[in-house]
Amino acid sequence: MRISTSTIFDTGVYGMQQQTTTINHTQQQLSSGSRILTPADDPIAAARALEVGQADSINTQYGVNQNSATSRLSLNESILGSVTTLIQNVQSQAVNSGNATLSNSDRATLAAQVSGVYQQLLGLANSTDGNGVYLFSGAMGTTQPFQNTVSGVQYNGDQGSQTVQIGTSRQIQVSLSGADVFQNIKTGNGSFVTQAAISNGGSAMINAGVVTNQANWSASSKNFTIQFSVSGSASTYNVIDNSTNTTVLSAQPYTSGSAISLGTSGASVTINGIPANGDAFTVKPSANESVFTTINNLITALQTPINNTAGNAALTNSLNTASQNLSNDLNNILTIRAANGARINEVTTAKSTSGNLGLQYKSTLSQLQDVDYTQAISQLNQATVALQAAQKSFVQTSNLSLFTYMP
């Protein structure tokens, strides 16, 4: 068999190129730490690694979203905590204002202090997350939620919410509607609100009342007036159903501090003090009132001078109403804080789950992609030895010549 010189050269060069390619490939694996440099290295593992890598990237993004949600919800909690403190401050001022030793000037000073709290509360209601997004504007993050106008504080947001995707099938609310937090709060005892007539001249004061039979109350008109008649030392009252303008209880003897039933409505109130002839108290269904209106009404009551017993009774009735409504405001804030706290806990759980899932993804990718350094170094040494052998054999065969053996 004849072997031409060109065949010898071609075969030698090809062999060295093959070994060089193997060495380069192994060196790249060692330097990159991955045994799969191209899909051709392991098609099945490469496809699986791509799938797992994409899942890991999505999970990582969920982690970013979870951190963002935690930050926003924690800011909500901080602001709501400050709102709670301010409302409790106003409650204390309302209680202090009932001190009989205070003068009109003292109450005016308290009114100024409450006005300061009012402004602080308005500022908190317009809080942002630091990026210009308002916390309490619902889904309208770029719209300032509250504006102080001549007719009172107005809400410019909506009832929607901003959400963040924290998992494959879970979005969590991170914003709050200012209407729910500061505005849509029931007055009175939640079922009805009691109020003294402005024209009252006696010292009688009414409490918030209670519903004793919810079914009867639901079926009633929920709109009553208690009208007093005083003759000498005897005081009686009529209970009038305002919806039908009929008297449901007539000429009932009045005893200060005793419960007054509102007919068959399933509700009763208690009036303390001495009413004047013609004094009246109303019972109407609870309506929504903003915390700003409640505080503003308290300020107005504190700024109103007291010159007689009737004025003192009017102040006490106003303070009782304010205290009841402030208690409702506080309960509403605490309920919203509890819901916000539950969302924080949910995000924390999601973060833990995503963290564990991320570790699993990375472990799987490591098994699919990571190079076995011991095996790769052994292959590199083998390829190096093979290259050296190919080079030496090529030198030997390339020097073969007939002239070498001629005398």
Alpha helix (H) residue ranges in 307-372 = 309-369
- 283 vs 227: CA distance, rounded Å: 11
**Rounded (to 5) percent helix, strand, coil in the chain:** 55, 20, 25
User: According to the model, what pLDDT value does residue 31 have?
Assistant: 60
Largest CA distance in the chain: 161
pLDDT, mean of residues 196-209: 92
pLDDT mean over 270-279: 94
Q: ∠61-63-68 over CA atoms, to 5°?
A: 95
What gap in Å lies between CA 206 and CA 320, rounded to an integer?
8
What is residue 200's DSSP assignment?
-
- Residue-wise pLDDT for 29-83, tens only, equals 656 566 665 665 557 766 776 787 788 888 889 999 999 999 999 999 999 999 9
Q: What is the Cα–Cα distance from 46 to 188, expressed in whole angstroms?
A: 68
Tens of pLDDT, residue by residue over 75-110, are 999 999 999 999 999 999 999 998 988 999 999 999
Across 111-115, 179-183, 275-279, 389-393, least confident range: 389-393
With contact defined as beta carbons under 8 Å apart, do 176 and 337 qualify? no
Q: What is the pTM of this model?
A: 0.78
What local confidence, expressed as pLDDT, does residue 96 receive?
A: 92
Whether the predicted pLDDT of 183 surpasses 80:
yes
Q: Long-range contacts: 28-33, Cβ < 8 Å, 24+?
A: 29/371, 29/376, 30/371, 30/373, 30/376, 30/377, 30/380, 32/371, 33/370, 33/371
